Amino acid sequence: MQKNETINWIATAFLYGEFKEQVDDQISKYDTFLVTNKHVLKNQIEIILRLKTIENNKIIEYPLQLVIEDKEIWHGHPSNLIDIAIIRINGGKLQEDGIKFFIFKSDRNILLKTEMIESGISLGDEIFLLGYPMGLVDLDSPVPVVRQGIIASMQNPMIKEYFLIDSQNYPGNSGGPVIYKPNINFIEGTKNYTKSRLIGVVNSYIMYNDVAVSLQTRQQVLILSQNSGLANVIPVDYINETIIDYHSKNK
């Protein structure tokens, strides 16, 4: 997504629709936002968005200035602990340009954390992780890489604002959507939620560190780090909070 002298694809983003009004039985209006992580946009002047056309799934690259007249156009969650960033997008312009796109609608396609708990979604339930892991994705492909996983913890014990998934997540996945996967098999006596919904944004994988110690000196000589297979996910609640904060500061 980053542009320097050459293009380096570094992250994932998706479109999110904030419900505004119901026009009639068939039509609703939404404000459209690009959602990703703060650390993806931080210190960047320009990014490139890869989108595809309706007609032939052709990839189109859209340059997007992040700094205009020394002011950043993207907006981050007000808390330093929440790694969510948004950019308001003109959905009508994308339609005019013949771009194929989907938005996660805030009134139809999401599950807030409290709704997850009320619906009986808990540890071990399955998820999908969508993204563009660096070095593992075909850049000519118009579709992301989809990986499966499970909810490992409803609350990261180190960062209470996040929850954990057990899924292989690599650089390039940052900012990607995490989607609940319905399952027809469930334990008798428990709730079974049957709809696929956006539940969060992947932030980062968690490293496992193993320490090598010298047999002679008993001193630490090397730290070996590897991907633990666990990843931090920011609940979708914080997308809504970021949008609310954006509106309050852009009245």
Output the pLDDT for position 178: 97
**Domain count across the chain:** 1
Domain of residue 195, CATH code: 2.40.10.10
Q: Look at the block and give the residue holding tokens 């979604």.
A: 121
Q: Which residues of 101-130 are buried (b: 16+ CB within 10 A; e: fewer)?
A: eebbebeebbbbbeebeebebeeebebbbb
Between these two residues, 157 and 177, which has the higher pLDDT value? 177
The rounded percent of the chain whose pLDDT value lies above 90 is 48
Give per-residue pLDDT as tens, 64-121: 999 988 889 999 999 999 999 999 999 888 989 899 889 999 999 999 988 998 888 8
- Residue numbers of the domain that contains 111: 2-249
Average pLDDT score, the chain? 86
Looking at the whole model, is its pTM more than 0.85? yes
Confidence of residue 179 (pLDDT cuts 50, 70, 90): very high
Output the pLDDT for position 81: 92
From CA 82, how far away is CA 19, in angstroms rounded? 22
